[in-house]
Chains A and B, each alone.
Chain A
Amino acid sequence: MNAQAPALRDPRLNRPEPFTPPLGDGGFFQRDRSIHPQAYAPGYKSSVLRSQRQALLSLENSVSEITGPVFGHNDLGPLDNDLIRNYAKDGDPIGERIIVHGRVLDETGRGVPNTLVEFWQANAGGRYRHKKDTYLAPIDPNFGGCGRALTDETGYYYFRTVKPGPYPWRNYVNSWRPAHIHFSVFGSGFAQRLITQMYFEGDPLIPVCPILTTIPDKDALDRLVAPLDLNASSPFDSLAYRFDIVLRGQRSTYFENRPEGN
């Protein structure tokens, strides 16, 4: 661990108003599948044998879908949201130091509090610390490439890392992934579970990526691209990127003592 590195500080400037989340046992809004990739997307070749031919069976949400695992600060360690320090052995990892921050919201615009956000990425050279990754770029001895955070009461999360590099992969002979960070988000119910990827503003590989272009909706694709957020940067230390994540909204709670709704 490098004793010289300044501590990671909360980068937000304008804190959104706190709110009280509803207890929430209503079902989730129907998923709009027109903004998600189709299962069968032949330009992304791995999807061909792993995609379904039958229609999904639509299920009215029961208690099995509106509930989901609950996580707390006990599940996390103090460096879990600091990828610059959480695997540092004898110095800082190589690369552009960045802060990634944003809010987890639902489709009604409410923050999703106390939800687990997990993230993983390649190092600055585009190499993953994974025994199955054989790309020739070197492993960084001071970089693990994963972290996690719990959103606060407003749905806000942040972490510090180095900017991942692009890398080649076997799809076409010259396919390259744009720089990206993988995100896993829970929400309050298992039907909100989502895995996605965050991209960086201005990356020229974005429009030619066979995985990104599985998304049929231009606006939905643009919402995966994090803008540079100079206001949240840490001067002489780190640039910042802003990435908000939206999970499915939830219909209002039906209370037995208020049958007219709420």
Chain B
Amino acid sequence: MPQPLNYLKETASQTAGPYVHIGLIPAMAGFDIFEKNFSNVLVTPNTKGERITLEGKVLDGTGTPLRDVLLEVWQANAAGRYNHPADRSAGALEQEFRGWGRAGSDFESGLVTFETIKPGAITDKAGRKCAPHINVWIVARGINIGLNTRLYFSDEEAANAADPVLNLIEQPTRRSTLIAKRSERAGKAVYSFTINLQGPEETVFFDV
């Protein structure tokens, strides 16, 4: 027998369940408990960058919007810098911009929204430019382990075409599942997305 490696094993995932709001967004469960709450608004008045609304739905295999889903987003600031010590790239850090938010879907429509800024392009470890993107994590009843995906921006065609992650996706039609579409509403940019959990247009999910 060789020596044992003695690594611990990761704790197994379990579904967030239908009442995930109690712990993570108690106001949506219908009560007020914490002095400070997390929200779907990532920006403060001082945040640099273009204000955007990110909005969309998560659909099940019948095309029905999930009305009990929770999304978290994690993103770089407008200079392409994540607010984390492991990001040692050159872009200026903004301490006030955490770059993270969470939102529950509307209990009627299933719509999920975030108020944030468009992140800058990111430089990867090999020094390649990566297209601006927002990292998304999805949990809900019936989802046994959190799903990781990304949202890219429809008006970044050249950057998207060169992006090393988008280019890992074999089928060009599947690449388009990660592109949020830009429109304007009352002078503000809105990026719309649809995340399909299964079916012919199933979104690309990552094993990160």
A positions within 8 Å CB-CB of B: 23-25, 28-29, 31-33, 35-39, 41, 44, 46-54, 56-59, 61-70, 74-77, 80, 86-87, 105-109, 118-120, 128-133, 144-146, 148, 182, 184, 188-191, 193-197, 211-212, 214-215, 217, 219-221, 223-224, 245-249
Contacts and interface: CB of A to CB of B under 8 A. Distances in A.
Given A25-B86, A220-B9, A51 B198 contact: yes
B199 to A, nearest CB: 8
Contact of B13 (A59, A75, A195, A249): A195
Contacts of A189: 84, 86
B52 to A, nearest CB: 18
Q: Which of B11, B24, B124 has the most CB of A within 10 A?
A: B11
A137 B146 CA distance: 30
A118 B23 contact: yes
Interface in B137-189: 137, 139-148, 150, 165, 168-169, 174
B190 to A, nearest CB: 23
A5 B137 CA distance: 39
B22 A128 contact: yes
Instruction: List 7 tightest A-B contacts by C-beta distance, closest first.
Output: A120-B23, A46-B142, A69-B100, A67-B84, A37-B144, A50-B142, A77-B35
Nearest to A74: B36
A36 B18 CA distance: 20
Interface in B91-145: 98-100, 107, 122-125, 130, 133, 135, 137, 139-145
Chain B interface size, as a band, is 35 or more
A129 B26 CA distance: 9
A195 B21 CA distance: 13
B206 A195 contact: no
Contact of B197 (A50, A188, A248): A50
A246 B84 CA distance: 21
Given A39-B143, A246-B10, 9 more contacts: A49-B197, A50-B61, A64-B74, A64-B133, A87-B31, A146-B22, A182-B16, A214-B144, A221-B12
B12 A196 contact: yes
Q: Which of B6, B89, B141 has the most CB of A within 10 A?
A: B141
Contacts of B141: 46, 50
Contacts of B84: 67-70, 188-189
B207 A57 contact: yes
Contact of B146 (A75, A128, A194): A194
Contacts of A214: 14, 144
